[in-house]
Amino acid sequence: MTGKLRAMTTASSLLTVDLDALAQNYTTMRSLVLPPCKVTAVVKADAYGLGIEQVAKALNAANVRTYFVATIDEAIELRKHTDRKIATLNGFFRGAEKEYLEHDIIPVLCSLDEIDRWTYSKRCFWQVDTGMNRLGLRPHEFDKAFERAHYQPAFIMSHLACADDPAHPKNDQQRKELAAIETRYPLMRYSLANSSGIYLGSEYHFDMVRPGMALYGLNPMPELENPMQNVVTLETRVLQIHESQEGETAGYGATYKFERPAKLATVSLGYADGFLRAGSNQAKLYWQGQPCPVVGRVSMDLIIVDISNLPVNIIPPYEGDFLEVIGPSQSADALAASFGTIGYEVFTSLSRRAERIYKTSSGS
């Protein structure tokens, strides 16, 4: 047996990645900007935990021309799967010059020191810090950078701190900071917008946009209905069905006490799989669209869920069935909210224990 049939017999959890939806989300991003603005793809952290090989294959077919990753190691791995441009967001690592050149990687230079050390060609980007205080040249350093460099960068970039909050004044402040540099150096090309930044409007697009999270189905506009297609479905195996009695407790630390008899399902998922411990007594799994609350602490490999309140017309799960963790009933963003975090952390926390199934119109 292969594909999903094999996974159904051996896997503790199933992670299905819809590559057609991924490609469609990239197409959606392209539809929001006007040529000649370039639309790239951010695939750092193993394509947000979904698997760089298969994701790159799908995005290559969708005609992505430039990729962004975080580190040189990620870039070297990605180079195995694409001949397109690859840039590293986290600067130019000292001592790694050979790797950048050998694998044709574009460094995003973030300091005067990095600009001084990159002596090979103009094939680089510069990052300016317009207000995040994280990485990049300060705006007042730009004149000095151009005086010292023997080349001009292909792009000058910055990164928005509050793009997921359209009303935040920081967005306009950062846009104006980058626009001021553009006024001084009008022949250069510029980039500011991430996924959420694309939705702030065309004045944020400049010459290149860098969508990441939205490609994978996360909501770039948290206060509105998600415009992206769902890419990820995560299901986990039921290991045991049993009854609890009034007064008994669930899990480590006895943090949940049953006030009445309950029917429980123990499932093969825990914090070692990326289901965060913050979901203890908070998160929900779903069976046929019905919520099943987590009771007790999330263990390393196991979760207990209460299936007592399923409607009478729904047959309850049995040992070997799979409960939905992420999917039609619960988005990654909704699950993340129950953890008190964001969808990025949910995706990038997913462990390799889940059997990955890549779904396309031509079959899994």
The residues assigned a catalytic role are 44, 252
Q: What are phi and psi of 180, to 5 degrees?
A: -65, -40
The Cα–Cα gap between 275 and 341 comes to 12
The Cα–Cα gap between 92 and 114 comes to 6
Residue pair 75/105 in contact (Cβ under 8 Å)? The answer is: yes
Residue pair 75/108 in contact (Cβ under 8 Å)? The answer is: no
Alpha helices in the chain (DSSP H): 3-10, 19-31, 44-48, 52-61, 72-79, 97-102, 112-117, 142-148, 169-184, 195-198, 332-339, 343-349
Token reading at 8: 């159904």
Three-state DSSP class for residue 239: strand
Q: What are phi and psi of 195, to 5 degrees?
A: -55, -55
Residue 202 DSSP class: G
Token reading at 105: 């990687």
**How far, CA to CA in Å, does 270 sit from each of 90, 142, 301, 331?**
31, 48, 4, 18
Is 300 part of any known ligand binding site?
Answer: yes
Q: Which residues contact 225 (CB under 8 A, 6 or more apart)?
A: none
Is 134 part of any known ligand binding site?
Answer: yes
Residue pair 43/59 in contact (Cβ under 8 Å)? The answer is: yes
Overall residue count recorded for the chain in this entry: 364
